[in-house]
Amino acid sequence: MKSIPSYFDERQYAHEPHQELHNGGWATYAEKSSRAGTIAAGLANLNPARDFGLGPLLDVHDGGYVDFLRIAHSEWIAAGREGDAIGYTWPVVRRRELKLDRIDAKLGRYSFDAATPIAEGTWVASYWSAQTALTALAALLDGEASTSFALCRPPGHHAGRDYCGGYCYLNNAAIAAQRARRQGRRVAILDLDYHHGNGTQDIFYDDPDIFFASIHADPVTDYPFFWGHADERGEGTGEGKTLNLPLPRGTDVMGYQEALGVALNAIAAHQADLIVLSFGADTFEDDPISYFRLRKDDYPKIAARVASLELPILVIMEGGYAVDALGLNVEAFLAGLSA
Ligand code: OKP
Ligand code: ZN
């Protein structure tokens, strides 16, 4: 069995928020930097990221939003605050475009939740997380490999064109998918994180060329609540190019595999020639913030089914918070892709 070329940049450790607002109280931040270390430790073929610059990031994200990410923490400190920058007012009710400069207004304008504090190292880590995705993509586009793994952290699938949320700042999967499309590839994104990838969905919602399929916990019971319902199918020329397969809490491998079959058929029908796979190991039975019942030995089976489409696959790391088991779960998934 060959090992999949994997990519990681140590600057991704720089992002280390202290706490998040969880069920009404401050809790330790679940998206810890040690997540990356435990995954990296199990990878046999690990390579550094290359720098593709800001261009591919700005091909997905709004320029004002990217500027905000770069300077938000220093503006927070300049305002006399300590610790991580976090918003407390969100313009969702009768929202209109206002040009506001106060840091708290900008935090509201460019985020949708209180799970996404901006720490001193957030920009650096997010930038290298995106570059890691682009580097792993390059291995596929250059024909060096048919499967590659981007050990991205912070994750990306909740981040939209002009917003952060859900531990995500730059949408690594969307940035890679967009670049692959610019290079003439026909892309499908398959999101297998426990949580719906609302940012990715929003970015490509009216796009006929990039298919987005997601299997996730029903947003009636689970974060992010406002996206991921089965009747969200894309809009305009993108209608039918979004597929949401919400599943109930308690779903085990049986129910999961059924949804996976539906997603894979749709990806084949799109005639994709490259898959960007947002992988979250938070579908694991012991995940501390999630409620599916996948076991470690289920991951190679799920991965092997995706691989049976015989398309190049770029795996992008998203969630997974059972840190002790995380490395082994990721290894198990990758083993199923290369078996
Ligand atoms: C990120 B990824 C609820 C706090 C909200 C946010 C979860 C973000 C998951 N009490 N938690 O999709 O794994
Ligand atoms: Zn998740």
ipTM given for this complex: 0.96
Q: Which two tokens stand for residue 28?
A: 């330790």
Instruction: Spell out the residues 6+ positions from residue 161 whose beta carbon is closer than 8 angstroms to its own.
Output: 60, 61, 62, 65, 202, 203
Determine how β-strand 187-191 pairs with β-strand 211-217.
Answer: parallel
Q: From atom 10 of ligand 1, which residue's Cα is the shortest distance away?
A: 22
Cα separation, 129 vs 69, in Å, equals: 14
Q: Which of 167, 284, 291, 318 to mutate to test the pocket of ligand 1 (most atoms within 8 A of CB)?
A: 167
State which residues of the chain have pLDDT below 70: 1
Beta bridge partners of 242: 212
Q: From atom 4 of ligand 1, which residue's Cα is the shortest distance away?
A: 22
Catalytic residue among 73, 157, 158, 216: 158
223 close to ligand 1 (CB < 6 Angstrom): yes
Q: What are the residue ranges spanned by the domains of the chain?
A: 6-61+121-338
pLDDT for 84: 96
pLDDT for 95: 79
Q: From atom 1 of ligand 1, which residue's Cα is the shortest distance away?
A: 166
Superfamily in which the 6-61+121-338 domain is placed by CATH: Histone deacetylase domain (3.40.800.20)
56 close to ligand 1 (CB < 6 Angstrom): no
> Is 22 one of the annotated active-site residues of the chain?
no
pLDDT for 339: 73
pLDDT for 286: 98
Determine how β-strand 6-7 pairs with β-strand 147-150.
Answer: parallel
What is the Å distance from ligand 1's center to 145 Cα? 32
pLDDT for 1: 56
Using an 8 Å Cβ cutoff, are 109 and 91 in contact?
yes
Taking the CA of 168 as reference, the closest ligand is 1
- Tell me if residue 205 falls in helix, strand or coil: coil
Q: Which helix (H) or strand (E) holds 181?
A: helix 172-182
Cα separation, 67 vs 333, in Å, equals: 36
Give the residue among 20, 18, 210, 33 at the shortest CA–CA distance from 128. Answer: 33
Per-residue model confidence as pLDDT tens digits over 300-323: 999 999 999 999 999 999 999 999
What is the Å distance from ligand 2's center to 260 Cα? 17
pLDDT for 22: 86
115 close to ligand 1 (CB < 6 Angstrom): yes
